[in-house]
Amino acid sequence: MSIEIKGLGKEFTQNGQQREVLADVNLTINDGDFISLLGPSGCGKSTLLNIIAGLEGASKGKVLVNNQVVTGPGRDRVVVFQEAALFPWLSVIDNVMFGLKIKGVSKKEAHEMALETLKMVHLSRFTKAYPHELSGGMRQRVAIARALVMNPKYLLMDEPFGALDEQTRLLLHSELQDIWQKTKKTIIFVTHSIYEAVQLSNRVVLMGTRPGRIMKEFSIPYSQPRSKSDPNLAYIEGQIFDELKEEIEKVMREEVDHDYHVAPNNLPWSPDRDMGSHI
């Protein structure tokens, strides 16, 4: 059981012009992997995730999930986006139960499953609250619970913590590590943060731009939970930064400033270890 991406290409037409957004992407995602897709803005991370989710079609090549070509969305693949798209008129528990009810699960069983999942994301005390009464981090926990309760084989996450403050993000990192250990889900995680990728994943796939493609892969063979100050992780972060530097400069020169340079620093690492909007 695995996801195989074979010779994948994607073109978009913009203003009558064809643009190659992904070119010859080949990747095998094994069951139980926590794989991060990391790369400069516009390199096609979300497009790749959406193609795996079946929300977007491929122009070339294919994605196989357990040897079946992906032709559309499926219950085995659930996506969590940057902004939790909760139903504002439903309480937390009803948001989490929503998909189960559609699937035909009885109300009683759906309620029990939702409670159990909300416990996992530490929201047991907020089951009756409405989305507008929650913080951004709590809303994102509900979105994760809503995805997990469907028991998908693959959890696809597109910058799920990108809009959160640093403290909430760190908290959710450890919760997600916990969830990964407990549920053994296969997680495909798009991020801008080298730190986040190295802390959470067992594989980090670096993508380059114009056209979007896979540049390199790093294996992070250290057990969880990981320490923020582990020198082994800092070393890998430095290596990844070196690999990405040229790609970041390429994007910034084309989009912002012809003379753009990423400041040379004494690696490992820049102050907050997060390239933020640079990549």
Ligand X SMILES: Nc1ncnc2c1ncn2[C@@H]1O[C@H](COP(=O)(O)OP(=O)(O)OP(=O)(O)O)[C@@H](O)[C@H]1O
Q: Pairing relation of β-strands 154-158 and 186-191?
A: parallel
* 213 binds ligand X, rule: CB under 6 A: no
* 41 binds ligand X, rule: CB under 6 A: yes
d(CA 80, CA 88): 17
Q: Which region among 44-52, 58-66, 172-180, 213-221 touches ligand X (by CB under 6 A)?
A: 44-52
What's the distance, CA 136 to chain centroid?
A: 17
* 59 binds ligand X, rule: CB under 6 A: no
* 53 binds ligand X, rule: CB under 6 A: no
Minimum CB distance to ligand X, residue 43 (Å): 4
CB of 94 or CB of 158, closer to Mg ion: 158
Binding mask 109-128 for ligand X (x = CB under 6 A): --------------------
Q: Which does 41 bind (CB under 5 to 8 A by kind): ligand X, Mg ion, none?
A: ligand X
Minimum CB distance to Mg ion, residue 117 (Å): 26
User: Do residues 153 and 77 make contact, with C-beta atoms less than 8 angstroms apart?
Assistant: yes
> 35: which 2 tokens?
């794989």
DSSP SS3 for 111? helix
* 27 binds ligand X, rule: CB under 6 A: no
CB of 231 or CB of 276, closer to ligand X: 276
> With b meaning 16 or more CB within 10 Å and e meaning fewer, what string describes 52-88?
bbbeeebbebebebeeeebeeeeebbbbbbbebebee
Query: Which parts of this chain interact with ligand X (CB under 6 A)?
Result: 12, 14, 21, 41-47
